[in-house]
């Protein structure tokens, strides 16, 4: 089975722009979660989608949003980029939602905001 894939792997944007990241889960997995990792804050939970619905959300501003499609693929969008949004963005998929199932992580998208 193919693992979780994320595109693009690297991205450079400037302040004020917006960005969309994509995540394709393992076949059969219906839950996709997103995480931000920075040197200062470490790993933080962004949100979880299951069956095209956002089920859980971390403590991030509304500039961070996401969606999930009927094939379980998910996208994450960050609008009005700030320097502090520079981070590694990871997605993970699992069979069930609720963050109590084994999470299978993708390789991440490294976003640099200039």
Partner 1 sequence: KNEVEQSPQNLTAQEGEFITINCSYSVGISALHWLQQHPGGGIVSLFMLSSGKKKHGRLIATINIQEKHSSLHITASHPRDSAVYICAVTYNNNDMRFGAGTRLTVKP
- The dihedral built from the CA positions of residue 61, 63, 64 and 67, taken in this order, carries a sign that is positive
Q: Count interface residues toward partner 1 (CB under 8 A).
A: 23
User: Could you say whether residue 104 binds partner 1 (CB under 8 A)?
Assistant: yes
- Residues 32 to 51 in contact with partner 1, rule: CB under 8 A: 33, 37, 42-45
Alpha-carbon span 114 to 107, nearest angstrom: 22
User: Could you say whether residue 102 binds partner 1 (CB under 8 A)?
Assistant: yes
Beta 42-50 vs 104-105: how paired, if at all?
A: unpaired
Cβ atoms of residues 20 and 82 within 8 Å? no
Q: Would you say 19 or 48 has its CB closer to partner 1? A: 48
Alpha-carbon span 26 to 94, nearest angstrom: 8
Shortest gap between Cβ of 16 and partner 1 (angstroms)?
26
Interface contacts to partner 1, rule CB under 8 A:
33, 37, 42-45, 55-56, 58, 88, 90, 92, 98-105, 107-108, 110
């Amino acid at each position: 089975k193919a693992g979780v894939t994320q595109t693009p792997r690297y991205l450079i944007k400037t302040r004020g722009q917006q960005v969309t990241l994509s995540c394709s889960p393992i076949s059969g997995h219906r839950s996709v979660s997103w995480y931000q990792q920075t040197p200062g804050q470490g790993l933080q939970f962004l949100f979880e989608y299951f069956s095209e619905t956002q089920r859980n959300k971390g403590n991030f501003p509304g500039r961070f949003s996401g969606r999930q499609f009927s094939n379980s693929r998910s996208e994450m969008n960050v609008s009005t980029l700030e320097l502090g949004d520079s981070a590694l963005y990871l997605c993970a998929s699992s069979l069930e939602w609720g963050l109590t199932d084994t999470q299978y992580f993708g390789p991440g998208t490294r976003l640099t905001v200039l």
